[in-house]
């Protein structure tokens, strides 16, 4: 394992590399406002044991990556998407097996459309279809507004209840409250089928808190999304050429049923439902998820 702090175009990104440099490269792209270490060590280790070179990284404004004065130097989700290419360039990789979770899956879909030569295979986990404007669906749910006909399926009631309360409550102040908030959020994203290990999640939340340069900076991802309404082009998923695996848990609370839509719109895509999995990559699903990614990236 080797960590690197890369700086391209003035963007400082913390990265971590595992496995032999000669092995097929797998680049892991985590979701919005999330650090790269939320790709579980167990999952990464199983990919490496299967003969893959694995790279994970912190998005800008998360973890050990650089923080940005958004008022002075605003950015958009297109910039966050281009950070994926910056990581690839820093490692001298012309193409990778691209694996994205949640909003990272959305980013990965767009890269597969725009830069097909850089994507060997595409794996999308717990995400929404590009052009589906999932953020608008969630906001209407939180505001108690009806969904227009043809919208994506809304999040489950427990997700809506938690985040409705979160956006109407004062932000957590201080270390203890912020860590408790991270744990509470993880409990919801875990879903209702798998046991939730609060002690393990507390250790992870403490790690997330301690390694962040500025935990409050992650809200800039929401500002970037608001500044970039054109991020999601519609009707383009048929252009994806990379062999695609789409993964969803049977107890997905945030984007239930979205993966089937992605798989339907990408030619030849395979849909995998993982029993009892929620939105987060819990320890219990690392083995089947890693096995699926290893099989998919043998192509």
For residue 144, count CB atoms less than 10 angstroms from its CB and return exposed for 0-12, middle for 13-18, buried for 19 or more.
exposed
pLDDT at 226 over 90: no
Long-range contacts made by residues 171-177, C-beta under 8 angstroms, separation at least 24?
175/209
**Which residues are registered as beta bridge partners of 271?**
246
pLDDT at 244: 98
pLDDT 10s digits, 114-156? 999 999 999 999 999 999 988 888 888 888 888 898 899 999 9
- The CA distance from 41 to 73, in Å, is 34
What confidence tier does 221 reach under pLDDT thresholds 50, 70, 90? very high
Q: Which of 18-32, 189-203, 229-243 has the lowest mean pLDDT?
A: 229-243
pLDDT at 204 over 80: yes
pLDDT at 46: 98
pLDDT at 49: 98
What confidence tier does 170 reach under pLDDT thresholds 50, 70, 90? confident
Inter-residue contact 31 to 102 (CB < 8 Å): yes
pLDDT at 264: 98
What confidence tier does 93 reach under pLDDT thresholds 50, 70, 90? very high
pLDDT at 101: 98
pLDDT at 230 over 80: no
pLDDT 10s digits, 18-49? 999 999 999 999 999 999 999 999 999 999 99
- The mean pLDDT of 250-255, rounded to a whole number, is 97
- The CA distance from 154 to 147, in Å, is 8
Residue 160 is assigned to a structural domain of this protein: no
Residue 179 is assigned to a structural domain of this protein: no
pLDDT at 213: 93
pLDDT at 228: 77
What confidence tier does 220 reach under pLDDT thresholds 50, 70, 90? very high
CA dist 4 → 1, 157, 182 (Å): 10, 41, 26
- The mean pLDDT of 65-93, rounded to a whole number, is 95
CATH, residue 265: 3.40.50.1820
- Mean pLDDT of all residues belonging to the chain: 95
For residue 213, count CB atoms less than 10 angstroms from its CB and return exposed for 0-12, middle for 13-18, buried for 19 or more.
middle
Residue 229 is assigned to a structural domain of this protein: yes
Greatest alpha-carbon span in the chain: 52
Residue 182 is assigned to a structural domain of this protein: no
Q: Which of 153-157, 176-180, 226-230 has the lowest mean pLDDT?
A: 226-230
pLDDT at 229 over 80: no
Domain extent for 221: 2-134+213-296
Structural domain count, the chain: 1
Residue 67 is assigned to a structural domain of this protein: yes
Rg (CA), the chain: 18
Q: pTM score > 0.85 for this model? A: yes
pLDDT at 89 over 80: yes
What confidence tier does 261 reach under pLDDT thresholds 50, 70, 90? very high
Residue 145 is assigned to a structural domain of this protein: no
Residues in the chain: 299
Residue 189 is assigned to a structural domain of this protein: no
pLDDT at 133: 87
Inter-residue contact 250 to 285 (CB < 8 Å): no
> Which residues are CB-neighbours of 40 under 8 A, at least 6 positions away?
281, 283, 286
Residue 186 is assigned to a structural domain of this protein: no
What confidence tier does 227 reach under pLDDT thresholds 50, 70, 90? confident
pLDDT at 196 over 90: yes
């Amino acid at each position: 394992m080797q960590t690197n702090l890369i700086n391209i175009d003035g963007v400082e990104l913390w990265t971590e590399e595992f496995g032999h440099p000669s092995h097929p490269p797998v680049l892991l792209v985590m979701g919005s406002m999330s650090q790269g270490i939320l790709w579980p060590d167990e999952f990464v280790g199983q990919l490496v044991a299967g003969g893959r070179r694995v790279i994970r990284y912190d998005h800008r404004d998360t973890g050990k990556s650089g923080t940005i004065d958004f008022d002075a130097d605003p950015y958009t989700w297109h910039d966050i998407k281009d950070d994926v290419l910056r990581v690839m360039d820093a490692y001298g990789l012309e193409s990778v097996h691209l694996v994205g979770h949640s909003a990272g899956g959305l980013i990965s879909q767009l890269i597969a459309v725009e830069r097909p030569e850089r994507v060997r295979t595409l794996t999308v986990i717990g995400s929404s279809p590009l052009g589906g404007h999932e953020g608008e669906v969630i906001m209407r749910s939180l505001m108690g507004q009806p969904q227009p006909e043809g919208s994506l399926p809304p999040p489950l009631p427990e997700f809506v209840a938690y985040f409705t309360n979160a956006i109407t409550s004062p932000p957590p102040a201080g270390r203890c409250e912020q860590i408790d908030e991270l744990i509470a959020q993880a409990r919801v994203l875990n879903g209702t089928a798998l046991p939730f290990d609060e002690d393990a999640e507390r250790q992870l939340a403490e790690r997330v808190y301690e390694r962040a340069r500025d935990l409050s900076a992650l809200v800039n991802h929401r500002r970037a999304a608001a500044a970039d309404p054109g991020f999601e082009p519609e009707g383009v998923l048929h252009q994806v050429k990379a062999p695609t695996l789409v993964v969803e848990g049977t107890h997905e609370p945030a984007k239930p049923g979205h993966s089937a839509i992605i798989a339907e719109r990408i030619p030849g895509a395979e849909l995998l439902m993982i029993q009892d999995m929620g939105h987060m990559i819990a320890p219990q699903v690392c083995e089947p998820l890693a096995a699926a990614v290893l099989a998919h990236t043998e192509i």
